[in-house]
Each structure stands twice: as C-alpha cells, then as structure tokens.
Amino acid sequence: MNLDSFIENEDLNDDEAKKVKEYIESIKKSREKQGNEECIYWKRGCNNQICPMLNDNSRYIWYSDEDTCSNPEYRNNIVVINQKKLKKKNAPGYFTYNMLNRNFVIKKGITGIDPDVPDSIDSKGQKSVDKLYNDREESWFKEHPELTREQIEKNRKLALKGSEALKKYRGGRK
C-alpha cells in the first residue's frame, strides 16, 4: 500500500493528509543522505531504506511496498528476512529498524505503525507527536513479542512433523 492509497483508506481530511505527507516527506529527505558507498547494489540504485550495511538504521522507517536489500551477502540477515516476509503480506503501516531486527511471527493481517497523527496531538507540538509514535511502537512490541529459542525450535519441529505427514499422505495416494 502506498502513501496515497493509505490516506484514501483512512478517510483523512485535506489538512490531515497534508500533515501526514509532510511528515513522510521530511523522513524521506532525511533518508536521502543514507547509502553505503561500498555496496555495489546501492551504486546501481538500490532503494532499500534500511540498509544492513549501515551502522545506524534507528532513524529510518520502512514500508512493505518499498524495496528490500538485494545484496546476497545479507539474505540471511534478520532484518532482510522480515522485510521480505512483510512485503509478501503487503503489511500496511511502517516498520522501524527495531521492529524488523527481531524474531517475531509474521502472518496474514499483520500491520505496522499507523503514520497518522490526530489533530489533537499534532497541535501540541513535535514532542507530543514523537511520544505518540514511541507509544505506538511500544504497543506494537507488546502485540508482537519476540520468539524465544525454545519457541523457534518447537515451531521448526512442528513444521518438520507436518512435512513428514504430508509426504506420507502423498506417497499413499500414488
């Protein structure tokens, strides 16, 4: 979902839509300086907003309709893996580096953080807006807890068990 379709879906009035667009554009402008000169994919025009080669991605956000890293060196990077999964789900909203840099369940219906800021908060100033986004991120973390090693291993075993059962089922049908 791109920004314009998000604004249409949220039924924002012109003033709200303008504020959302201005905020997103200000973030995009701050990201224009981002890029890793050493990466051949960046030199070729990679548009990944959260680059695994950069040391500090904490200031940037990513939407599921944006590019993911195409550098094969980083195909096993947790951030890149999560971006690809979210892209497949076409998850609305934005995701921060901290949200992407963890093991969590990604399934149908997952959403990121809503970029919309109510007028009542926007009129209070930038500190209130920043607090709103921080609160939304904390709420997202609570709704999407990080998986423990035990949970990951349990899920892997269940998947293998299901795969074996499917092989037996298919083998018996032939």
* Same-domain status, 10 and 72: yes
Element (H, E) at 61: strand 61-63
For residues 28 and 145, give the distance between their C-alpha atoms in angstroms, rounded to a whole number: 28
Comparing C-alpha atoms, which of 149, 122, 148 is closest to residue 18?
122
Answer yes or no: do 139 and 152 share one domain. no
130 in the same domain as 113: yes
122 and 163, same domain (yes or no): no
Residue numbers of the domain that contains 160: 148-174
Looking at the structure, do residues 163 and 123 belong to the same domain, yes or no?
no
Task: Kindly state whether residues 134 and 161 are assigned to the same domain.
Answer: no
Say if residue 79 is in the same domain as residue 160. no
Look up the pTM and report it: 0.70
174 residues of the chain, pLDDT tens digit each? 566 666 666 677 788 878 877 777 776 655 454 556 677 887 787 878 888 888 788 888 999 999 898 889 899 999 999 999 999 999 999 999 999 999 999 999 999 999 888 888 888 888 988 899 999 999 999 999 999 999 989 989 998 998 888 888 888 665
Q: How many CB atoms lie within 10 A of CB 35?
A: 16
Does residue 157 share a domain with residue 85?
Answer: no
Verify that 110 and 153 share a domain, yes or no: no
Is residue 9 domain-shared with residue 59, that is, in the same domain? Answer: yes
Residue count of the chain: 174
Together in a domain, 104 and 162: no
Q: What is the pLDDT of residue 54?
A: 80
pLDDT of residue 63: 93
> Total domain count for the chain?
2
